[in-house]
Structure 1
């Protein structure tokens, strides 16, 4: 490691006990303990501060994504001009007094100060890794296990936290609800994609992919890409979705390892992921249709369209609030990469990171509107991996619902990876059913009924508040008229 690379590692506080050397088990094999050198994490020994910094970045990635998702809900599906009108001060806080979101039937479905379906699905991947970490061929097991968890989630929600499923994407819902989905998830996803004339490329796999970059930190870049592709393709097989997931995972892995510090490093990592996907026939031609021409196969990774998004110089170029294309995966990865660029530039200005940099950059992004919670989740993971947990805004992190539970899972992950010392036993809430009986049909109907009642009650409260404010404004207007 050069002196330049070492500069990325600084001592920071992390939200748990001080780290220490431990044995590693990245693959899940029970064949014996690994050393730092054989695990791919030998770089942790290069400097006393590196281990603490990597742990801080892991927390930053996971919590940063959840925060981007949570703050992004404030402006999700709103056009940019509406965001600027509704949130004129451009300030958000998750601690008292909590910033009230724009009340409508969409936002009123969600728990205040909590993440959305984006982070829920990322947690399905994380929980799969945690529960199966002692399994042989762990990384080969996760795609099918994730698919099984996802099928439970679309009906039951995240059972570990009793969170109902909200915001199920059309593609995910259509693929996962098929009666034969679990027989071959990738085949079901491929069939669904082909029925769209091989056209749809939504952001649903990208929004959840960041945990893979964390637990693949000790693997080669290509191995991390393969895991990202295998898990992503359980629902999204379009090559644009696959390359976006590979880019995100590769960047997170590189940021944690201190290998990505400059925009030049960033660009090289993007191109390596692109070239790898382009070289994989099974990824470029889902289903390996022999009747497709070379043009029909390669058109999905056409360079002009790719570069337009991943090398965008401003959010305006991405048109994130476009009603027709706001869920397009290239818009999501493009905005995430652009925010990471802004973060790298911000850190370059000062050796001491600004405590407001993460907040300002995420706010700028979500104020563009569109699919802002997903954009925030994907971008928050990258920026969090760059800046670390210690540089997340306290008035966001401290107010995040279920934060302590999420932190406990991240701590377990760092121990399983061997970055932090400590034993890791089994926990019931990491099972697909959250360690609880699955809800019966009657219980599901009651949950949905109660949720609908809550939405209607909040909507009624919103309308009554608007009416009071309208009358108040009208009264002030009359007073002013009589004074004249």
Structure 2
């Protein structure tokens, strides 16, 4: 694979993740039917969230916690010469917590607890976690929303992507289900860098990553109750292949698979939507944005995978300009830095 293609896939993963986050922030919290009533034809462009959304007050194209953490984590890994370590994740979280527009509005209890523990460690203080309630709450999609760097820093090396996904996830979501969902996502992104990778290849990689991530989590992490990510990806894939209309299959992704905060909903839903849309990057993200419930995270996960598979196709210069401007980021420059670190490893 030539360098230009690698760069385009890295940039594609980043920009479609950002786009899914920004667009999904508009529809977040609404049901499948509420979105169709409120936005006939669905949200398919950058608009501002209104009062129904957590992101009310954001401008069109402004991201939330999903891509802001992904982007900052990418920057920290670049600083560490492409090596993913717990320190990278901790530094990202401290930086992120110092940005009020993200931390004050979007930090959930799992992330807040993790950041408090990191700060205490750095300051030499003891931080006591209530294991009875906290760890059971950590099987959320926050593990997968920011995991794409574990995939695109390991292009084509699925097992290393899984290893790095475990490393990243354990800092904040230290249980077998969250690890499984993160590994599924990272494995799919890594597999997308194979020259002949198809949508079916990335689905298979996702199932492999989910299974292997759960096995690793059961061995080295905490075990919490909840449905298997692997089994529910299988359910989503089965729904995606039904001989029914696209709309009916998407409704079945929303219910019974689910598109909510639990990692065993959001990650399987993402794979189901991708298969329903045959891996088309723009269409996959748009359907995730309009599927209902935790749409910004589901769409960010979808975008990170399909962008790696199909690259930046469908993204105009204007969209790049809006995303860069509204979030004070530099997508192209950052993707170039990642490419410089990983391309030689692919030869």
Q: TM-score, normalised by structure 2?
A: 0.82
- Which residue number in structure 1 is paired with residue 69 of structure 2? 121
Q: Give structure 1 stretches of 5+ with no counterpart.
A: 1-43, 45-49, 289-295, 347-356, 421-484
- Which of 130, 146, 157 pairs up with 1:208? 146
Q: 1:304 and 1:65, CA in 2 relative to 1: closer, same or farther beyond 3 A?
A: closer
Q: Following TM superposition, by how much is the alpha carbon of 1:271 offset from its aligned partner in structure 2, in angstroms? A: 3.6
Aligned length: 333
- Which residue number in structure 2 is paired with residue 146 of structure 1? 89
- Taking the aligned partners of 2:300 and 2:229, their CA distance within structure 1 comes to 26
Q: Following TM superposition, by how much is the alpha carbon of 1:364 offset from its aligned partner in structure 2, in angstroms? A: 2.0
- Taking the aligned partners of 2:37 and 2:43, their CA distance within structure 1 comes to 13
Q: Give structure 2 stretches of 5+ with no counterpart.
A: 241-248
- Equivalent pair of 2:65/2:102 in contact (CA under 8 Å): no
Q: Give secondary structure in 2 for the equivalent of 1:368.
A: coil
Q: Deviations over 1:409-452 (max 9, x none)?
A: 111211222469xxxxxxxxxxxxxxxxxxxxxxxxxxxxxxxx
- Taking the aligned partners of 1:118 and 1:62, their CA distance within structure 2 comes to 11
- Which of 191, 205, 208 pairs up with 1:254? 191
- Equivalent pair of 1:193/1:200 in contact (CA under 8 Å): no
- Which residue number in structure 1 is paired with residue 110 of structure 2? 171
Q: Following TM superposition, by how much is the alpha carbon of 1:109 offset from its aligned partner in structure 2, in angstroms? A: 3.8
- Equivalent pair of 2:138/2:175 in contact (CA under 8 Å): yes
Structure of higher CA gyration radius? 1
- Equivalent pair of 2:32/2:254 in contact (CA under 8 Å): no
Q: Does 1:68 align with 2:20?
A: yes
- Which of 291, 294, 307 pairs up with 1:368? 291
Q: TM-score, normalised by structure 1?
A: 0.60
- Which of 380, 401, 412 pairs up with 2:337? 412
- Equivalent pair of 1:153/1:165 in contact (CA under 8 Å): no
Q: Give secondary structure in 2 for the equivalent of 1:195.
A: helix
- Which of 265, 273, 277 pairs up with 1:339? 273
Q: 1:91 and 1:234, CA in 2 relative to 1: closer, same or farther beyond 3 A?
A: closer
- Which of 382, 395, 399 pairs up with 2:305? 382
Q: Does 1:56 align with 2:8?
A: yes
Name whichever structure is richer in helix by fraction.
2
Q: Does 1:319 align with 2:254?
A: yes
Q: Give secondary structure in 1 for the equivalent of 2:106.
A: coil
- Equivalent pair of 1:54/1:256 in contact (CA under 8 Å): yes
- Equivalent pair of 1:320/1:369 in contact (CA under 8 Å): no
Q: Following TM superposition, by how much is the alpha carbon of 1:63 offset from its aligned partner in structure 2, in angstroms? A: 0.6
- Taking the aligned partners of 1:367 and 1:118, their CA distance within structure 2 comes to 17
Q: 1:300 and 1:79, CA in 2 relative to 1: closer, same or farther beyond 3 A?
A: closer
Q: Following TM superposition, by how much is the alpha carbon of 1:192 offset from its aligned partner in structure 2, in angstroms? A: 5.3
Q: Does 1:358 align with 2:288?
A: no
- Equivalent pair of 2:257/2:268 in contact (CA under 8 Å): no
Q: Give secondary structure in 1 for the equivalent of 2:313.
A: helix
- Taking the aligned partners of 2:255 and 2:300, their CA distance within structure 1 comes to 14
Q: Following TM superposition, by how much is the alpha carbon of 1:270 offset from its aligned partner in structure 2, in angstroms? A: 2.9
- Equivalent pair of 1:284/1:298 in contact (CA under 8 Å): no
Q: Following TM superposition, by how much is the alpha carbon of 1:112 offset from its aligned partner in structure 2, in angstroms? A: 3.4
Q: Deviations over 1:354-373 (max 9, x none)?
A: xxx53333222211221111
Q: Matches of residues 76-155 of structure 1 in structure 2 within 5 Å?
A: 76-94=28-46, 99-104=47-52, 106-133=54-81, 138-139=83-84, 142-154=85-97
- Equivalent pair of 1:321/1:369 in contact (CA under 8 Å): no
Q: Following TM superposition, by how much is the alpha carbon of 1:237 offset from its aligned partner in structure 2, in angstroms? A: 1.6
- Which of 237, 244, 253 pairs up with 2:181? 244
Q: Following TM superposition, by how much is the alpha carbon of 1:111 offset from its aligned partner in structure 2, in angstroms? A: 3.9
CA RMSD between the two structures: 3.4
- Taking the aligned partners of 2:38 and 2:263, their CA distance within structure 1 comes to 27
Q: Deviations over 1:211-247 (max 9, x none)?
A: 22111116x3222211110111101022121111111
- Taking the aligned partners of 2:119 and 2:43, their CA distance within structure 1 comes to 46
Q: Give secondary structure in 2 for the equivalent of 1:370.
A: coil
- Which residue number in structure 2 is paired with residue 230 of structure 1? 167
Q: 1:91 and 1:367, CA in 2 relative to 1: closer, same or farther beyond 3 A?
A: closer
- Taking the aligned partners of 2:130 and 2:296, their CA distance within structure 1 comes to 25
Q: Give secondary structure in 2 for the equivalent of 1:256.
A: coil
- Which residue number in structure 2 is paired with residue 21 of structure 1? none
- Taking the aligned partners of 1:361 and 1:267, their CA distance within structure 2 comes to 14
